[in-house]
Amino acid sequence: MPHIAVPEGKADPEVRVWALRPEMGMGAGALSHAIYDQSIVPVRERELARMRIAQINGCVICQQWRSTPGAEGAVTEDDYAHVLEWRTHDGYSERERLAVEYAELFALDHHTIDDAFYARMRAATFTDAEILDLTVCIGGWLALGRTLHVLGLDDACKLAL
């Protein structure tokens, strides 16, 4: 149940809520567009990192989301199902493991992300542009997913898989 009054309408509550603050909704929309449509990080790496943030945030909508452009056919339900086992699941590449680890550290223990971690990312061929890109993606998912969750908007709309 939402913790704030969501304007009436046909769209889902997580969309209608932005009518309360359209200027912020435009900013959230622009960030989402950049993350989903302009990222240079391969979609599998982004999706696995996104799912880890969804799990950490506890956002039901984010955990059910399967509409990321380019993900269909690139990320399977099995890939999503093993995100918590990112350290040991043999279906992930080194870059995919690092993307999930980065998401987890960013959300839970960002003070421990050090030069040695970035050296590992570079050793796995992440460019500086990709590191910046993935950082913005993770930050956006953390912020927007947590916003939906703490306001109770993720429980108001559950997407069909």
Which CATH number goes with the domain that contains 91?
Answer: 1.20.1290.10
Residues 6+ apart with CB under 8 A from 25: 17, 18, 19
In this structure, is residue 133 part of a structural domain? yes
Q: In which domain, by residue range, is 59 found? A: 44-156
What's the whole-model pTM score? Answer: 0.92
Write the pLDDT tens digit of every residue in 60-69.
Answer: 888 998 989 9
**For the segment 105-158, what is each residue's pLDDT rounded down to a tens digit?**
999 999 999 999 999 999 999 999 999 999 999 999 999 989 988 998 886 544
**Residue 99 falls inside a structural domain:** yes
Residue 20 lies in a domain: no
Q: Is residue 30 part of a domain?
A: no
